[in-house]
Amino acid sequence: MSESKILELCKRRVSCRNYLEKPVPDEIIANCLEAARWAPSACNKQPWRFVIVKDTELRRKICKEGFLPGVPMPWAQKAPVVIALCAKTNPITHGLAPMVSGINYQYIDIGIAGEHFVLAAEEQGLSTCWIGWFKVKYVKKLLKLPSTVKPVCLLTLGYAAEPPSPVKRIPLDELVRENTWKD
């Protein structure tokens, strides 16, 4: 049986850490943003905001000064586009509700929207990498974000210089149980 289109796309997407310095057409970015915009979100608050960074100097600053120590990511600077996935927080859904439920919905929402973006990029022949190991305060200041908008993750976007190698996944039988959890 042939693999479903979505499964094929999910398997094809691999973090890319080697980019060509080839610009990404605006139309492709617009398609990715449109896919992200249709993501579901808690109370349909759509807290995502996307800051597209193509400017060479801003990208250089993010990649030189904006990453946390311990995980060198020199490859990121070659990516022609960096996207700051940001959360515009709502005091009730993202402040009060998590105090009751213990679940921080904004991060779930941004994750879903971000992956919509990533899969749309993959479908159009582009590659991405999520970057969570960055200095939130530094990037917030550098991009002059208002106090209500917080960068939650970064994405690099561009054309892969070489096909990235897939990373192993935990087999399903270790990930799924019925009705309860037993190791």
Ligand X SMILES: Cc1cc2nc3c(=O)[nH]c(=O)nc-3n(C[C@H](O)[C@H](O)[C@H](O)COP(=O)(O)O)c2cc1C
How far is Cα 75 from Cα 88, in angstroms, rounded to an integer?
Answer: 29
Please, what is the minimum distance in Å from the beta carbon of residue 14 to ligand X?
A: 4
Measured CA distances, 148 to 49, 78, 84, 105 (Å): 11, 30, 15, 16
Cβ nearer to ligand X, comparing 33 with 73: 73
Tokens matching residue 124: 């159009």
Label residue 71 exposed, middle or buried (CB < 10 Å: 0-12, 13-18, 19+).
exposed
**Residue number with the shortest CB distance to ligand X?**
132
Helix H segments across the chain?
5-12, 26-37, 56-65, 97-101, 105-123, 136-142
Please, what is the minimum distance in Å from the beta carbon of residue 101 to ligand X?
A: 21
Label residue 112 exposed, middle or buried (CB < 10 Å: 0-12, 13-18, 19+).
middle
Q: Interaction with ligand X in 55-94: which residues (CB under 6 A)?
A: 71, 73
**Among 54-62, 126-134, 142-150, 170-178, the segment contacting ligand X (CB under 6 A):** 126-134
Cβ nearer to ligand X, comparing 29 with 63: 63
Which residue is associated with the tokens 């561009």?
158
Please, what is the minimum distance in Å from the beta carbon of residue 179 to ligand X?
A: 28
Please, what is the minimum distance in Å from the beta carbon of residue 113 to ligand X?
A: 13
Which residue is associated with the tokens 């515009």?
88
Q: Does 175 bind ligand X (CB under 6 A)?
A: no
Cβ nearer to ligand X, comparing 14 with 39: 14
Q: Does 153 bind ligand X (CB under 6 A)?
A: yes
> Which x/- pattern, by CB under 6 A, does the window 9-48 give for ligand X?
-----xx---------------------------------
Q: Angle at the Cα of 54 (from 48 to 19), degrees rounded to 5?
A: 100
Q: Does 131 bind ligand X (CB under 6 A)?
A: yes
Q: For binding to ligand X (CB under 6 A), which residues are involved?
A: 14-15, 71, 73, 129-133, 153, 167
